[in-house]
């Protein structure tokens, strides 16, 4: 039982970014002007998919950095950003009543 895979298959052919991966990884983003790289919205970083293709995407998802980023994005970050935005908005209105005229209430 030998595998039929010939070493010929292991040609150095670069994988290109596949937009369909985005439906599977919602943090994935295309890098404009660089088809062999993908961007992670959570980590704000880019990584190469040129050698491993989709495998590079799934292995990025397993990195500590990414897991940490997705955890904080899921819990505190979103809520924090949401609250900060509202607190700032309220503070602006409360501290400078004149400014509230500018906003359409």
Q: Tell me which residues touch Zn ion (CB under 5 A).
A: 40, 42-43, 66
Nearest distance in Å: CB 7, Zn ion: 33
**C-beta closer to Zn ion: residue 40 or 56:** 40
Residue 96, SS3? coil
In angstroms, the CA 19 to CA 28 distance is 9
Closest to Zn ion by CB, 67 vs 99, is 67
Considering the complex, state which of residue 58 and residue 100 has its C-beta at the smaller distance from Zn ion: 58
Order of all β-strands in the sheet with 28-30: 28-30, 37-40, 45-48
């Amino acid at each position: 039982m030998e595998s039929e895979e010939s070493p010929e298959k292991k040609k150095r052919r670069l994988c290109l970014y596949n937009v369909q991966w985005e439906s599977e990884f919602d943090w994935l983003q295309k890098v404009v002007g660089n088809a062999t790289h993908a961007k992670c919205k959570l980590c704000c970083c880019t990584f190469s998919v040129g050698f491993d293709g989709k495998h590079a995407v799934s292995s990025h998802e397993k990195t500590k950095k990414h897991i940490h980023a997705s955890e904080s994005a899921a819990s505190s970050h979103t809520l924090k950003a949401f609250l900060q935005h509202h607190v700032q908005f309220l503070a602006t209105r409360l501290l400078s009543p004149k400014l509230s005229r500018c906003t359409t209430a």
